[in-house]
């Protein structure tokens, strides 16, 4: 099965609340239980599919990740598989641009990280509310970068990455608000440009 282009990105989830799950260490057991019990749409980023195999969509921009041992093999993840790479069989490809525009469904803005891109993807898919979980934007209490083991043979972020990521979210926040998109940060993090509320309060 070949990779198919999503251009424009289809509004599959018009008006939905979408939970985007990144791999930061701030995700809690309570978050995990809430997500497991939810009927809301769920996007997981990279290796987080291990914990949420029922998720509706797995997003990973990097073609190298899809070729690694962390990616799902045939039949392991039944949801949609979306990437920025041209050579990921059985996936949908989106165009990623460095332009900071959020209302053009022909592409998603880069933000230099897959979590940011997943948020933009949720918006193009039609989300009216996006709940961010595990978007820590910093190290955990023990200095850990992820809620899972570090990647092997792939880039693991460090302090120099977090500043760029925070700047991208800060640019996007007022634009998304003006578009009528509610973005809520549901995890403890350095991300202060969005409303902060516990996940359970955002998905009644």
The pLDDT of residue 194 is above 60: yes
| Domain ranges, residue 133 | 4-202
Degrees (nearest 5) of the Cα angle 108, 132, 165?
Answer: 55
Dist CA 121 CA 135 (whole Å)? 16
pLDDT range class, residue 74, cuts 50, 70, 90: confident
Mean pLDDT for the chain overall: 88
Q: Give residue 146's pLDDT band: very low, low, confident or very high (50, 70, 90).
A: low
Least confident of 7-11, 14-18, 47-51: 47-51
By percentage, how much of the chain surpasses pLDDT 90?
60
| Domain count within the chain | 1
**Across 90-99, 102-111, 130-139, 167-176, least confident range:** 130-139
Cβ(134)–Cβ(147) below 8 Å: yes
Q: Which residues pair with 43 in a beta bridge?
A: 20, 57
Tokens 């043979």, located at residue: 153
DSSP, res 9: P
CATH of the domain at 97: 3.90.1480
- For β-strands 92-93 and 108-109, DSSP reports them as unpaired
Q: Are 45 and 11 in contact (CB under 8 A)?
A: no
Positive or negative: CA dihedral 63, 67, 69, 74: positive
What pLDDT, in 10s, does the model give residues 44-69? Answer: 999 899 889 999 999 998 888 888 88
Beta carbons of 129 and 182 less than 8 angstroms apart: yes
More confident residue, 152 or 193: 193
Average pLDDT over residues 3-28: 92
Provide the pLDDT for residue 152.
61
Quote the CA–CA distance of 198 and 187 in Å, as a whole number: 7
What's this model's pTM, rounded to 2 decimal places? 0.91
Question: What is the arithmetic mean of pLDDT over 75-96?
Answer: 92
User: How much is the pLDDT for 155?
Assistant: 62
């Amino acid at each position: 099965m070949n990779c198919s282009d999503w251009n424009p990105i289809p509004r599959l989830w018009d008006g939905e609340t979408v939970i985007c799950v990144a791999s930061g260490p701030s995700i809690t057991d309570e978050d995990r239980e809430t997500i497991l019990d939810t009927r809301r749409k769920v996007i997981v980023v990279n290796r987080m599919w291990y914990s949420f195999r029922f998720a509706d969509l797995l997003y990973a921009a990097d073609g190298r990740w899809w070729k690694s041992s962390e990616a799902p093999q045939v039949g392991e993840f039944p949801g949609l598989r979306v990437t920025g790479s041209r050579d990921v069989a059985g996936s949908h490809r989106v165009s990623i641009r460095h332009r900071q525009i959020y209302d053009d469904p022909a592409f998603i803005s880069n933000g230099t990280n897959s979590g940011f891109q997943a948020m933009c993807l949720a918006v193009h898919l039609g989300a009216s509310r996006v709940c961010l979980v595990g978007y820590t934007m910093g190290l955990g209490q023990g200095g850990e970068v992820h809620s899972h083991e570090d990647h092997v043979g792939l880039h693991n972020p460090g302090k120099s990455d977090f500043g760029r990521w925070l700047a991208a979210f800060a640019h996007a926040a007022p634009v998304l608000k003006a578009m009528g998109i509610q973005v809520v940060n549901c995890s403890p993090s350095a991300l202060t440009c969005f409303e902060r509320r516990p996940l359970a309060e955002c998905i009644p």
